[in-house]
Amino acid sequence: MDPDQIRNWRPSRFSEVVGADNQRRIRRLQRKLLKGRLPTPLMLVGVYGYGKTSLARLLLKSLCCEHRNPVTADPCSDCQWCRCFGKIYNGYGQPYRRCECDCTTLNRTQLIEVLDEHRFEDDVALFMDEFHHLHEKRSQEAMLKFVEDFDGLLITAIMEDRLEEVIPPLRERFEVIRMSPPEEHEMVEFFTMMSDAWKVRTKHDVLHFMVKESGKSFRFGIKAHAAAADEPDRTLTESLIQDLLGI
Ligand SMILES: Nc1ncnc2c1ncn2[C@@H]1O[C@H](COP(=O)(O)OP(=O)(O)OP(=O)(O)O)[C@@H](O)[C@H]1O
Ligand SMILES: [Mg+2]
Ligand SMILES: [Zn+2]
């Protein structure tokens, strides 16, 4: 796989979301998806970098996919709706039109515009990422009204330590799914599998070093593999990891 593809990697199958705790929660969602729906509104909660955005996109992709796997609910990654998935306000699928907005870039006027655009559309699956950026009480009240009116599907992703800033009447309306940081050994197993898939040569103790020294960072692990793939011999070594970490 070329370095940029590694850099942009995200799970495209539910089984690729690492962590036994996460898998347990996801299994319930997979069962719902097989019936063609998801609980709504849904809030993915977790600390920085442990798969909130990735899972939300995967859920919506599965929901809209024409050839969803009948056993795992994995999206096919190949139909027109899977392939058109990009970033902001894009991706039109069936039975839902899939929309994504990043709350970091929304001011209050834009938020109201987004909500008004979709308020009475029941065929929209709206993903609001970085939901903690709507910390203003007035924005949250607008959200509360929207959640009451909206018959489509709403998924939000929020940083765990900001959850308490969400006003209780809004928070209580959501079904909460927690994304937990996996165990160290689960991450090492994951990167062992991915080094192989990405054709990067490395050793088990190097991967262990990488996971430990980076503070169990998926983003770092992926970046280190992309950097190794940039090298002519495609080898991930302890010294490359040290360079990247600046240690
Ligand atoms: N549990 C996981 N299993 C597999 N890959 C993961 C997992 N968690 C994170 N990743 C990988 O780490 C990267 C960051 O994940 P993602 O952007 O989904 O996290 P996030 O929780 O949305 O982070 P942030 O809080 O910064 O928005 C992605 O490339 C993703 O593939
Ligand atoms: Mg995110
Ligand atoms: Zn598909």
Is residue 228 within 6 Å of ligand 1 at its C-beta?
no
Q: Please, where in the chain does CATH 1.10.8 lie? A: 184-245
Q: Please, where in the chain does CATH 3.40.50.300 lie? A: 3-179
- Rounded Cα gap, residues 143 and 162, in angstroms: 16
Ligand 1 atom with least separation from CA of 10: 31
CATH class of 3-179: alpha beta
Question: For residue range 75-111, what is the model confidence (pLDDT) as tens digits?
Answer: 998 887 787 654 434 444 556 788 889 999 889 999 9
| The domain defined by 184-245 carries CATH number 2.40.50 | no
* Sheet of strand 153-159, all strands in order from the earlier edge strand to the far edge: 97-102, 124-129, 153-159, 42-46, 175-179
At residue 4, the pLDDT reads 95
Residues (pLDDT < 50) of the chain are 86-92
Name the residues around ion ligand 3, CB cutoff 5 A.
65, 75-76, 79, 82
Is residue 223 within 6 Å of ligand 1 at its C-beta?
no
Ligand 1 atom with least separation from CA of 54: 18
DSSP string, 96-160: SEEEEEEGGG--HHHHHHHHHHHTT-TTEEEEEESGGG--SHHHHHHHHHHHHH--SEEEEEEEG
At residue 220, the pLDDT reads 98
pTM of the entire structure? Answer: 0.94
At residue 95, the pLDDT reads 66
At residue 37, the pLDDT reads 85
The angle, 0 to 180 degrees and rounded to 10, between the axes of the packed helices 218-230 and 238-245 is 120
At residue 97, the pLDDT reads 81
